[in-house]
Amino acid sequence: MNIGETLKHFELKSTTGKLVSTYHLADKSALLVVVTCNHCPYAQAYWSRLIHLAKQYEEDNLGVLAINGNDVNVQPADSYAEMQRLVKQYGVPFPYLHDESQAIMKQLGAQKTPEVFLFNARRELVYKGAIDDAWDNEAAVMQVYLEDAIEFAFDGLEIDYPEIPPVGCSIKWKS
């Protein structure tokens, strides 16, 4: 997806077993979609930061969805059962969705785990890419790209840097 394009409706199974759709979050002031997984060290490093962000902006009406669709034949640690285990382990407060067909990850144009896609109230893509500038050391973060983008989106402002290349593991695509 390119900046300014509108998110198409989708529905995926969450780790609770229920289907979650973009319509469930239609009332949110902004929507953050995180393409992530279980096995990648980059993704693992960001789970606690994403949970903190979701809680920090909950009162501001930020919707958050995490999506994993890695091919489990390539990476068994990314199975649906392991997704359910991870949600319990971290106490993930937002839906973690399974994109088994990989259609939504392709629709987004995702390349890495983790990679974020932030949509404004009209569901136009306003930011995509990296979460911050120090995946391996939260204490060393100097640039909070995603947090800045969220603030700008809530204020209805254009984001200075709408695309920052994501840092992470490659998506394990099905052949």
Domain ranges of the chain: 28-170
- Tens of pLDDT, residue by residue over 7-28, are 999 999 999 999 999 999 999 9
How is domain 28-170 classified at the architecture level of CATH? 3-Layer(aba) Sandwich (3.40)
Query: Taking Cα atoms as reference points, which of 152, 154, 130, 158 lies closest to residue 143?
Result: 130
Work out whether strand 62-68 and strand 30-35 pair parallel, antiparallel, or are unpaired: parallel
- Tens of pLDDT, residue by residue over 36-72, are 999 999 999 999 999 999 999 999 999 999 999 999 9
Residue type, 78: D
Query: Taking Cα atoms as reference points, which of 120, 124, 127, 137 lies closest to residue 42?
Result: 137
